[in-house]
Amino acid sequence: MWTGDTVRAVDTPDWFVWVALGIIVVQLLGLAPVTRRMRDPDPAVRSKGLLDLLETLGCLLLFGGLLLSVAVAEPLVWLTPAGFVLMAAAYVVKGVRLLRTHRPAAHPENTP
């Protein structure tokens, strides 16, 4: 029987906040080698560095949005899907590049 009481939100456990903060710190530390790769003179290394930067920024947005929406303000939840989209785009481009590098070349001298 419904009595008209309001439903209270469940409190966020402290361990979740600490785990999310730990992941964010690790991702921030991971930005140092990525920025070094971005300054490399080789265009292929810079391109991989750019994809790694997109992936890292996506992860930061994902976990930062999740943490901020749970612990601080719920309207910041839009950061989470934005981070997911950035990460997914980086993984798609990395996957396409990986498939293109492993595809055998169709040269006339290789065909019987």
Sign of torsion, CA 35 40 46 49? negative
For the whole prediction, is pTM greater than 0.75? no
Does residue 7 register a pLDDT over 60? no
* pLDDT score, position 10: 59
CB 83 within 8 A of CB 60: yes
- H or E segment at 56? helix 43-71
Give the distance from CA 92 to its chain's centroid: 12
For 34-51, the pLDDT digits (tens) are: 888 888 889 888 988 999
Domain boundaries, the chain: 14-99
The rounded distance, in Å, linking the Cα atoms of 94 and 88 is 10
94 pLDDT band, cuts 50/70/90, is: very high
